[in-house]
Amino acid sequence: MQGDPFYSVRMRAAKHNSHENGGKHISGGEMISTYDTIKYAVNELVEKAITHSRGKPDFFQVQVELIHEPINLVKPLEVQTNEVESVECGQALARRILENSGVPKRIVEKAYEVIAECSSIRGAILLDIQTGQRLDNWNEKGVRVSRMDWLPSNFEKWAIHQHIPPSSRLKEALVLATKVCDHPATIAELCWSDDPDYITGYVASKKIGYQRITRLKEYGDEQGCRIFFVDGIQNVSTYISYLEKQPILIQWGEDDDRAIN
């Protein structure tokens, strides 16, 4: 594998028009592939786009791009699952975990105000934990974290070891959270799905790991949330460029983080 070129393979799907023309976001996906597995990666992403609980897309795009930069290997965050009985209990726990991760209470409150205002945003919102200001540019797009993956064999080994069913949804969310939390300016992430049939979400941070919470919304609800709480960012474009461009593979069971290409 050392020395082989890698490719970023990404997909976005929408209904009633493309995203940029006001369509409804259906689904997105990110993979990193070698040349030999590009066909498999494209098929996976097409399958994801056309079999989605948010609806049948009438627009989708799959993009393949050679990665020139070295790919960093990063260990997955530790995962814990918190069973809760209701959305109220789940949301109260999410708030407590955010505070334990270092997000001040008033900023947690601010985040919930922002969530209520941005019901149809499809990417992530960046929130400064000192000022409570949104740092992304306030459009409906938000920031898309890209160029990240976890090779199937290593992910499956990890899942067996953790006694966790190897779901691709958990994999994708843990990959994203691990990449985001690996940046020193990220204090925590709060996320739940915009898919109507999936109600588990999480709070993640370097300090407390990836804390799954089994109910953060009701079934049928298509409003999702992804907020990155950040601190000490000198240059917002450099942070966004890390999220969008820095290639990362999650690797479990290695002693050191290192680059492979």
Provide the mask over 191-210, with x wherever binding to ligand PML is found by CB under 6 A and - wherever it is not.
Answer: x-x-x--x-xxx--------
What is the C-alpha separation between 74 and 251, in angstroms, rounded? 6
Range 84-94 burial, b when 16+ CB lie within 10 A, else e: beebeebbebb
Checking DSSP bridges between strand 24-34 and strand 186-192, what pairing results, if any? unpaired
Q: CA-CA distance, 191 to 240, in Å (whole number)?
A: 18
Which of 170, 181, 199, 233 touches ligand PML by CB under 6 A?
A: 170
From 30-38, 92-100, 153-161, 190-198, give the range in contact with Mg ion by CB under 5 A: 190-198
Q: How far is 42 from 1, CA to CA, in rounded Å?
A: 20
The answer to whether the CB of 23 falls within 8 A of the CB of 47 is no
The residue type of 240 is I
DSSP symbol at 53: T
Name the segment binding ligand PML (CB under 6 A); options: 38-46, 49-57, 145-153, 166-174: 166-174
Taking the least distance from each CB to ligand PML, the nearer of 223 and 261 is: 223
Shortest Cβ 243–Mg ion spacing (Å):
18
Which one, of 120, 177, 151, 147, lies nearest residue 242 by Cα?
147
Closer to Mg ion by Cβ: residue 71 or 201 = 201
94 vs 127, which CB is nearer to ligand PML?
94
The residue of the chain with the least Cβ separation from ligand PML equals: 193
Decide which of Mg ion, ligand PML, none touches 201; Cβ closer than 5 to 8 Å per partner kind: ligand PML
Cα separations in angstroms, 115 against 100, 199, 210, 234: 20, 16, 21, 25
Binding mask 191-230 for Mg ion (x = CB under 5 A): ---xx-----------------------------------
Residue 259 CA from chain centroid, whole number: 21
- When asked if residue 172 is in the footprint of Mg ion (CB under 5 A), the reply is no
Smallest distance, ligand PML to C-beta of residue 213, A = 9
Residue 33 binding: pick among Mg ion, ligand PML, none (C-beta 5-8 Å cut-off by kind): none
Positions touching ligand PML (CB under 6 A) are: 169-170, 173, 191, 193, 195, 198, 200-202, 212
Positions touching Mg ion (CB under 5 A) are: 194-195
